[in-house]
Amino acid sequence: MATQHPTYVIGDIHGQFKRLVGLLQSVGLIGDALQWTGGASTLWFMGDLVDRGPDGIPVIDLVMRLQAEAAAVNGCVASLLGNHEMLLLAAYRFGRRSTGLGSSFLSKWKRNGGNRKDLASLKLEHLGWLANLPAMAHVDDHLFIHADAPLYLKYGRSVQEVNAAIKDLLRRSDSLAWEELLEDFVRRGIFYSDRHGEVLAQRFLDLYGGQCLVHGHTPISYMLGCQPKKVTRPLLYAGGRCVNVDSGLYLGGHGFVSRLPFSSEEH
């Protein structure tokens, strides 16, 4: 279904600021001065803006600024909460405190590609923004989630319930609850198995709404077993119910920005 103003999605950026700028410029969403030129368009990030790359905070700063600029012209820029946003928040909040599994939140974050420079330049405005990112969203009959993992089912039976429960978790300093969610984010690929994948994807869509589930979190090259540079477009799978938009930018993938709806040619 075509909407009057286009909706774009982009996968996991992981601190690749320069590549992000190039990708957004290539589709005309930002200009030479990195200003929003998308008018009333909508742009959604699938989460994991930070870690594994050099410029996580500049990426957040850009997204936050574009969000304000887009809103001023009836456009929309938004991002899901990825596990790496949560890892960064956990490193900030709990630091060297034990996760209960024999390591600290700080070391867990570092093991997962945490960038010292990002932690050092985190400001209050970033913390507030990150802690309010939705875990899932329903946009133009698409269901957006960061991870191809079952964890969402634990937190609620509607998009609103899941978002409220995870936002509440991020407000509280219950380190065990943080640890559990971070561990649940380690899962991936649940919609990709031959038979159960389609069934599970349909269960998500029946429960949370939408005709098509869009996610990041798992580089497409992992699923296809190919070189990251070979990935040039989203991966449609699970009988067309799922779309993976994680181009594996941090692995050297070129990246892409997709416009909804996804074409069935994108196999």
Cα gap 98→178, rounded to integer Å? 11
Binder to Mn ion among 83, 99, 221, 244 (CB under 5 A)? 83
Cα gap 207→189, rounded to integer Å? 19
Beta bridge partners of 45: 10, 79
Distance (Å) of CA 49 to CA 61, 88, 105, 127, 158 = 10, 11, 19, 14, 25
Q: Which is nearer to Mn ion, 45 or 256 (CB)?
A: 45
With CA atoms as reference, report the closest residue to 89 among 221, 214, 177, 204: 177
**Minimum CB–partner distance for residue 146 and Mn ion (Å):** 6
- Give the DSSP letter of residue 98: B
Cα gap 29→66, rounded to integer Å? 10
Q: Which is nearer to Mn ion, 41 or 83 (CB)?
A: 83
Residue 82 in contact with Mn ion, rule: CB under 5 A: yes
With CA atoms as reference, report the closest residue to 82 among 155, 22, 24, 11: 11
Residue 215 in contact with Mn ion, rule: CB under 5 A: no
Q: Which is nearer to Mn ion, 12 or 75 (CB)?
A: 12
Distance (Å) of CA 167 to CA 13, 61, 180, 225 = 22, 21, 15, 35
Which of these ranges, 36-44, 83-91, 148-156, 231-239, lies near Mn ion under the rule CB under 5 A? 83-91
Which of these ranges, 74-82, 89-97, 129-137, 161-169, lies near Mn ion under the rule CB under 5 A? 74-82
Q: Which is nearer to Mn ion, 101 or 186 (CB)?
A: 186
Cα gap 226→5, rounded to integer Å? 34
Residues 1-60 close enough to bind Mn ion by CB under 5 A? 48
**Minimum CB–partner distance for residue 91 and Mn ion (Å):** 15
Q: Which is nearer to Mn ion, 36 or 52 (CB)?
A: 52
**Minimum CB–partner distance for residue 145 and Mn ion (Å):** 11
- Give the DSSP letter of residue 241: T
Residue 219 in contact with Mn ion, rule: CB under 5 A: no
Name the site residues for Mn ion (rule: CB under 5 A).
48, 82-83, 217
